[in-house]
Structure formats: C-alpha cells, structure tokens
Structure 1
Amino acid sequence: MKIFKFGGASVKDAESVKNVAKVLNSQGFEKCLLVVSAMGKTTNALEKVVEYYFKKEDYQNEVEKIKQSHLEITKGLFAENHKIFGEVALFFDDLEAFLRRNKSPNYNFVYDQVVSCGEMISSKILSEYLNDINFSNAWLDARDYIKTDDTYREGVVNWLETEKNISGLDQNQSYVTQGFIGSEANNFTVTLGREGSDYSAAIFAYCLNAEAMTIWKDVPGVMTGDPRKFENVTLLSNISYEEAIEMAYYGASVIHPKTLQPLKQKHIPFYVKSFVEPEKPGTKVGNSDVNQSEESYILKENQVLMNISTRDFSFIAEDHISQIFNLLAKHKIKVSMMQNSAISLALCLEDKFGKIDEVNQTLTQQFSTDVVKNVSLYTVRNANMDELSNFYADKKILLEQISKNTVQIVTQ
C-alpha cells in the first residue's frame, strides 16, 4: 500500500483540490491511503478562534469566516444539492456547540478540540470530491485509529493500540484520512504537535508496512536550503535516513522531526515531491548507494537565547543542569542548541507555548540569567570550513558552535 500526504497548500482552494486528483491520476490511486492537512491557513484561523474564546471576544465571527471560506471552496467542486454542504455545515455546528457547552479551563484541551476541525473538514471534502470523479475511497476518522495519551497539543502515540487498529484496514482499497490528530482513552481529540500531519502519514505507513510514503509539497523536494531564505540552493535527490533525521533535528522545515524514525525502522522509502510538477523525481530518503552529503543551510527563526550562570561563581554542575532541563521539559520548551562553560550555560530555545518568562522567573530565584528573544539559529550541515566567510558576513553573532562538519550560529 502507498501512503500519500497532502499539506495545506495542496488543498488551499477548489483548483488545488482538483490538482490533487491530477497528481493521483499521474501516480495511480489504487491501494493508496491519503493523509490530508487543513486547507490553506485554516489552522492559523482556528488558533485565532481559541484565542478569542479565552479572551471572551467575538470568536463566533471568526468561526463564520472559516465556514464561509470552506463553503466557497465546496461550491467550486460540487453541484448545489450535493450532501457535502450539509456535512460541512454540521462540522461547524458541532464546533460552535462544543464552545458553547465547554466548561474546561484547559487551554490545550480546548485547542485540540477546536483546531482539529480543519483536518476533519478538508479530508471530508477531498474524499467526497474524489468519489464523485470515480477515485473510489473510504473516509476514515484518524481518531479511531491513532491512539495517544492525554498530552494535549503534543500527543504521545500508543503504538501497540494504534498498530492493532490500523493493521486491520483492508489494504485492497483506498482511503482518505486526517493528519495531525489522534484521540486519548476517553476519545477526546489530541493533536500530535504543529505540522504533525507528516508524522501521521508515517504512523499509517509503519502500521500498514507500506511500500512507500510520499509527501507532496510546493517545492521540488528536499533542497540544500529553503529557497525563500537562501540563494543558489539545489535539490538533494537521494539522502539517507540518518542525514534526513539530522536535517529535521536542526530544523529543516520540509521534514517533520518525528516522521523519519518509524519509516527507518521498517526501511520504508520516503519521497518528497512537488504537487506542481508530480512527474519530477523529487527527493528519495532511504537506503541507497548514492546518498548525498551536500552542504546544506537551515534556519530556525523566533528562537530565544538564554544565558544562565551561577551567582556565586561556582561551576555549572550536573545537579544544576538537571534542574534547568527538568524545568524546560515541564514547560515544553525545546533546546535547539546548548553550550556550557565552567560557570555558565548558553541555551538556544524554541518556546512554542510562550512560557519563557515564567521559566526565567523561576530560574532567577537561584541563577543569574540573560534572555534575548527573537534570535535566529543558522545551521550549516556538511560545511566546507574553508569557504564560510560569506556565510558569516553581515551577521551579528551572539553564539557560535562548531562540531564535525556542522556549524551553528545564533544571530540577532
């Protein structure tokens, strides 16, 4: 069975949905499972709904905007009397009913119940459209298959239960389902982390022992840098799982960090291809005799640089580091880079949930700290050490770290 994942850009409007059918026509749709993201910027719009809901502002108006946007897309795909219009409206009725009745003050819980609606609606529209044009498929609710713990917004997959659920699917037919979501023991929705649709596809691929998994994007494949951020980048046609995992760890946005481990475990080939030019080969990630190790540039923006030092000039010891990292883990702040000296620890941090001020307040009870927000972390993989002067030019460097063939700098 083949696993295809289509992101938000590939289903952002009616013409894009029609293009998905063209991609499937060129690739073959038999025995295929499609994992679909929310349409366009729907996730951002639904995040705004949650924000307004907790601020007790007019979230209903935001819901209505999202509803009308989806109905407009639907009008470009179906006849006026098609049942899909009622189904789309029902999703929004359920969303508004949840927000009216909800009593939970847990932001993350409410976030997951609301934001997940984007994938539910996009997958239903795509499934119905494909059936109408004779691409026969069954629509699946991913929450019935991917089971997690109750860590809302960062669900941890229960692999034993998930594999049992998914392995029972009939692999002789095709399916459309959602990325990004699963459910916990009480069947409440749990999301798998921002950009988690790639991970969802990998979960299905692993549990179905898929022959291959392909992510369809608006870029030709995995490049040696984001063409929107770096000049003269080129396509990487073949890279190893290990290189792809390293690139994902350092922040290459084209690959979700969690995606690769389940694929590597079962040696499932992973392709990144363009939905604009589906006939192009794209990038293959997997076992190959011609894996590339080209110089590659990765940029992570909106980072936080925190310098922590002892007040009495004692060493930063194991107990200090353990205390600091436990605090970061508690607040779901991820370490992108670290560097320590005798009396200080420098950390480049990713603060997705806006907890850095709270963490800093706790740390200053025992340590001296300095926090610089909105910094950028550049990473050069497989760096040519003799030709890095252009890379350093015109950058205010706050922190630098060089290891074997990898250079990282934090800039302001």
Structure 2
Amino acid sequence: MKVFKFGGASVKDAESVKNVSVVLGSEGFENCLLVVSAMGKTTNALEKAVENYFNKIDYQTEIEKVKQNHLEISEGLFQKDHPVLAEISLFFDDIESFLRRNKSPNYNFVYDQVVSCGEMISSKIVSEYLNDIQFKNEWLDARDYIKTDSNYREGNINWEATQRNIAEINLQTCFVTQGFIASEANNFTVTLGREGSDYSAAIFAYCLNAEAMTIWKDVPGVMTGDPRKFENVKLLSNISYEEAIEMAYYGASIIHPKTLQPLKQKNIPFYVKSFLDPRNPGTKVGASAKNEEQETYILKENQSLIHISTRDFSFIAEEHLSQIFALLAKNKITISLMQTSAISLALCIEDKYDAIDHLNQELQISFNTEMVKSVSLFTVRNAKLEDLNKFYENKNILLEQISKKTIQVVTN
C-alpha cells in the first residue's frame, strides 16, 4: 500500500480538490491511503475562534466564516442537493454545541476538540468528491486508529494500540483519512502538534508497512533553501534519512521533525513531490548511493534569545540545568539552539504556545535573565567553512555556533 499526504495548500479550494484527482490519475489509485490536512487557512481561523471563546468575545462569527468557506468550496464540487452539504453543516453545529456545553477551563483540551474539525471536514469533502468521480474509497476517522496519551496539542503516540488498530485495515481498499488528529483513552480528540499531518502519514505508513509515502507540496521537492527566503536554490533529488532528519531538526519547514524516524525504522522510501507537476520526480528520501550532501540554508523566524545566569555568579551546574529544562518542558517551549559558558546559558527558543513571558517570570525567581524577542536562527548545513565570512555579511550577530559542517547564527 502507498500513503499519500495532501496538505492544506493542495486542497485549499474546489480547483485544488479537483487537482487531487489529477495527481491520483498520474500516480495510480490502487491500494493507497490519502491523509488530508485542513483546507487552506482553516486551522488558523479555528484557532482564532478558540482564542475568542476563552476571551469571552464573539467566536460564532469566526466559525460561520469557516463554515461558509467550506460550503462555497463544496458548491464548486457537488450538486446542490448532495448529502455532503448537510453533513458539513452538522460538523459546524457540533463545534458550536460543544462550545456551548463545555465546562473545561483547559485551553489545550478545548483547542483540540475544535481545531481538529478542519481535518474532519476537508477529508470528508475529498472522499465524497473522489467517490463521485469513480475514485472509489472509504472514509476513515483517524481517531479510531491513532491513539495517544492525554497531552493535548502535542499527543504522544501509543504505538502498541495504534499498531493493533491499523492492522485491522483492509489493504485491498483505498481510504481517505485525516492528518494531525488522534484520540486518547477516553476517545477525546488529541492533536499531534502544528503541521502534524506529515507525522500522521508516517504513522500510517509505518503500521501498514507501506511500500512508499509521498507528501504533495507546492514546491518541486526538498530544496537547498526555502525559495521564498533564499535565491538560487536547487532541488535535492536524493537525500538520506539522516540528512532529512537533521534538516527537519534545524527547522526546514518542508518536513515535519517527527516524520522521518518511523519511515527510517522500516526503510520506507519517502518522496516530496509537487502537486502542480506530479510527473516531476521530486525528492526521494531514503537509502541510496545517489544521496547528495549539498550546502543547504534554513531560516527559523519568530524565535527568542534568552540568557540565563546565576544570581551569585556561580557556575551553571547540573541542578540549575535540571530546573531550567523542567520549566521549559512545563511551558512547552522548544530549544532551537543552546550554548553554555561557565556562568550563563544562552537559549534560542521557539514559543509555540505564547508562554515565554510566563517562563521568564518563573526563571527570574531563581536566575537573572536577559531576553530578546523576534530574532531569527540561520542554519547552514554542509557548509564550506572556508567561505565562512559570507554567512556573516549584513547581519547583526547575537549568538553563533559552529560544529562539523554546520553553522548557526542568531540575528535580529
């Protein structure tokens, strides 16, 4: 079985959904499973609705906008009396009903129950459209198969239960399901982290022993840099799992960081291809004698740089590090770069859940801190160290770190 993942940009409107069938016609639709993201900017819009709900301001308008957008997309795909239109309305009725009845003050719990509806609705639309044009498939609820703990917004996979559930899938049939979402022991929805649909596809591929997994993007494949941020970038035709994992770790947005390990464990080839030109070979990630190690550029924006030092100028010791890391984990803040000296610790961090000010307050109980927000982390993989100076041109360097063939600088 093959696993295909279609992201939000590939199903953003009616024409994009129709193009999915073009891709499938090119690739073949026998024994495959499609993992579908929410349409376009739906996740952002539903996040805004949750934020408004907790701020006790109008959230219904945001939900209604998302509903109307999906109905408009559906009107470009189906007849006016198609049953999927009523089903879409029911999804949105369920969101509003949940929010009216909800008593939980847990933001992350409420977030997962609401935002996950984007994937449920988009996958239903794609499944129904494909069935109408004779790409026969069954719609699956990913929450019945991928099981996690109750760490809402960043669920940890229960691999034993997930493997057992997915093993029940009939491999002779084609399926459409959702990315990004799973469920915990009580069957409440848990999401797998922002942009987690790639990870969902990898979970299904691993548990199905898939022959290959492909994610469909609006770029030709994995490039030596994001073409929106860097000039003269080139396509990487073949890269190893290890190189792809390193690129994802350093922040290459085209690959979700958790995606590669399940595929590597079973040596499942992973392709990144363009849904605009499905016949283009794209990038193959896997074991190959053709693997390349070209100089690649990665830019992570909207980072924060924090310097932490002891109050008495004593060394940063293990007990200090333990305390600091515990606070980072508690606030769900990710370290992008770390550098230590005798009396201070410098961290370039990513604040996905707007918790950095709270973290800083907690750190200042025991430490001195200095923080600079809105910095960028620039990473060069497979760097030619003899050309080092070109990476520092026109940059205000706040922190730098050089390891074997990798240069990282924090700038503002």
TM-score (norm 1): 0.99
Alignment partner, residue 146 of structure 1: 146
Q: Equivalents in 2 of 1:302, 1:97: separation in Å?
A: 35
Q: Equivalents in 1 of 2:303, 2:376: separation in Å?
A: 6
What is the Cα deviation at residue 389 of structure 1?
A: 2.5
Secondary structure in structure 2 of the residue aligned to 1:129: helix
* Alignment pair present for 1:83 and 2:83: yes
What code does the residue aligned with 2:134 have?
N
What code does the residue aligned with 1:288 have?
S
Alignment partner, residue 121 of structure 1: 121
What is the Cα deviation at residue 257 of structure 1?
A: 0.3
What code does the residue aligned with 1:310 have?
T
What code does the residue aligned with 1:307 have?
H
What is the Cα deviation at residue 146 of structure 1?
A: 0.4
* Alignment pair present for 1:8 and 2:8: yes
Alignment partner, residue 107 of structure 2: 107
What code does the residue aligned with 2:52 have?
Y
Alignment partner, residue 286 of structure 1: 286
- Stretches of structure 2 that go unaligned for 5 or more consecutive residues are none
Alignment partner, residue 38 of structure 1: 38
Using the aligned pairs only, state the percent identity.
Answer: 75
Q: Equivalents in 2 of 1:299, 1:182: separation in Å?
A: 30
Q: Equivalents in 1 of 2:330, 2:56: separation in Å?
A: 28
* Alignment pair present for 1:315 and 2:307: no
- Kindly report which structure 2 residues correspond to 1:4-403, keeping only aligned pairs within 5 A, or say none: 4-403=4-403
What is the Cα deviation at residue 363 of structure 1?
A: 1.3
Secondary structure in structure 2 of the residue aligned to 1:305: strand
Secondary structure in structure 2 of the residue aligned to 1:352: coil
Secondary structure in structure 2 of the residue aligned to 1:294: coil
Q: Equivalents in 1 of 2:14, 2:388: separation in Å?
A: 45
What is the Cα deviation at residue 318 of structure 1?
A: 1.1
What is the Cα deviation at residue 225 of structure 1?
A: 0.4
Q: Equivalents in 1 of 2:115, 2:389: separation in Å?
A: 44
What is the Cα deviation at residue 366 of structure 1?
A: 1.6
What code does the residue aligned with 2:154 have?
E
Q: Equivalents in 2 of 1:308, 1:62: separation in Å?
A: 40
Q: Equivalents in 2 of 1:237, 1:372: separation in Å?
A: 38
Q: Equivalents in 2 of 1:228, 1:335: separation in Å?
A: 25
Q: Equivalents in 2 of 1:241, 1:28: separation in Å?
A: 25
What is the Cα deviation at residue 322 of structure 1?
A: 1.1
What code does the residue aligned with 1:264 have?
K
Q: Equivalents in 2 of 1:374, 1:294: separation in Å?
A: 29
The aligned length equals: 412
What code does the residue aligned with 1:326 have?
A
What code does the residue aligned with 1:155 have?
G
Q: Equivalents in 1 of 2:76, 2:344: separation in Å?
A: 59
Secondary structure in structure 2 of the residue aligned to 1:388: helix
What code does the residue aligned with 1:408 have?
Q
Secondary structure in structure 2 of the residue aligned to 1:194: coil
Cα deviations by residue, 1:359-395 (Å, 9 ceiling, x for unpaired): 1111112211101011000000000112232321111
Q: Equivalents in 1 of 2:267, 2:296: separation in Å?
A: 24
TM-score (norm 2): 0.99
Q: Equivalents in 1 of 2:367, 2:84: separation in Å?
A: 58
Q: Equivalents in 1 of 2:58, 2:203: separation in Å?
A: 37
Q: CA RMSD in A?
A: 0.6
Cα deviations by residue, 1:135-182 (Å, 9 ceiling, x for unpaired): 000000000000000000000010000000001101111000000000
Secondary structure in structure 2 of the residue aligned to 1:242: helix
What code does the residue aligned with 2:249 have?
Y
What code does the residue aligned with 1:361 have?
Q
Cα deviations by residue, 1:229-251 (Å, 9 ceiling, x for unpaired): 01111000000000000000000
Q: Equivalents in 2 of 1:366, 1:161: separation in Å?
A: 42
What code does the residue aligned with 1:88 have?
I
What is the Cα deviation at residue 196 of structure 1?
A: 0.2
What is the Cα deviation at residue 29 of structure 1?
A: 0.5
Cα deviations by residue, 1:324-348 (Å, 9 ceiling, x for unpaired): 1111011111110000111111000
Secondary structure in structure 2 of the residue aligned to 1:360: helix
What is the Cα deviation at residue 79 of structure 1?
A: 0.7
What code does the residue aligned with 1:169 have?
I
Secondary structure in structure 1 of the residue aligned to 2:82: coil
Could you list the structure 1 runs, at least 4 aligned residues long, displaced by more than 3 angstroms after superposition. none
What code does the residue aligned with 1:112 have?
D
Q: Equivalents in 1 of 2:66, 2:238: separation in Å?
A: 39
Secondary structure in structure 2 of the residue aligned to 1:153: coil
Cα deviations by residue, 1:57-81 (Å, 9 ceiling, x for unpaired): 1111111111000000000000111
Q: Equivalents in 1 of 2:313, 2:9: separation in Å?
A: 52
Moved more, 386-395 or 23-32: 386-395
Q: Equivalents in 2 of 1:162, 1:410: separation in Å?
A: 39
